[in-house]
Structure 1
């Protein structure tokens, strides 16, 4: 299995999508001789699918075709060398994956044919068991459908633990603690901007372009920050490095 689960698509000052992870992504492309990818853009609500596909082509140096051009989207997944899943609105993305009949084809492509999956922001969220730890608003439906479950633990992308002046609502830490209190058998990995989890084969690694760590939220346990994935060794079926 090959998963790149990125908190976000760009860092401040980046000129290219996924620029902070280019070294790892392009090394994987070269090792697997990947020259094309299918792009799943449904999370983008106020943007142009084809324009984003062109941005990815320029950034990654491979041919990128948006799945919305396919008459039978599941067939595009069956023929894909690589799957790219955009950020945007997680609720809308997950609903569209179900409506387009793409959940099982993506699962089979990644698990059985070992097609690499690259998802950022919303695309990272839907790779987990559910989208319950997204930061997004349900713009169309409030029904929480299962997600792809490619990664076995909930992720909260765009994680920030700063206290915003004048904000009187709950902090992100408080919201994630609430999730764990209501779901005490589940954990949440909180990824800051410019960071990612990478599954390659049976190994799980972590990278942060800014040298920052990730946090793990568990019910009844103190939340801590980590810089390697050994903290997840009891939660995931991968070798953590």
Structure 2
């Protein structure tokens, strides 16, 4: 892929829009790649339909974007965006040159990221920092400025996306090369913990062409180590 312009579709995790990749897209462009930071349906401040946005809506938005690009496509999914990316690849495995899971991985068929919400609750606001860390989402590497920006720009996560189940059906997805960028836990830890069972419910280790990259930091590497993350993505596109 070194001599071909590669499209890099950047899918953020919960509470984030395409702005989350602001410090990553410049280095990708400098390396000759074509980045596409994604703001998923329902993930803007003024979204009128957040309560009705489904996983299918977000999966289809990414699939349609990738389908309209001319040339190789590398999908990058962070956190909950990784689960979406897994479903996108399942829809058309032959379209993608590689998938990069950033502190994330593809779910097994029928798994959900979150349990059902209480009656009347339609979205999930960004929790307090202490709650996020207690849930295992490390804030390591984020200074006060980064935390303030994150809090100011975050929007509630649509409940139907968070609680909807993944649908994986095409075995051709296992032929797509995968890179797992490990930030809040190491590759060694991930290999020991990743399975179809709780807590991850991931099929990540089922992919035969799987490369691990360690990038020690917290869960949000696009904020804490954007230059190093960009370098890892450039290398993934060249592999």
TM-score above 0.5, yes or no:
no
Q: Which has the higher helix share?
A: 2
Q: Greater RCO between the two (CA within 8 Å, min separation 6)? A: 2
Normalised-by-shorter TM-score class: 0.3 to 0.5
Higher percent of residues as strand:
1
TM-score when normalising by structure 2: 0.38
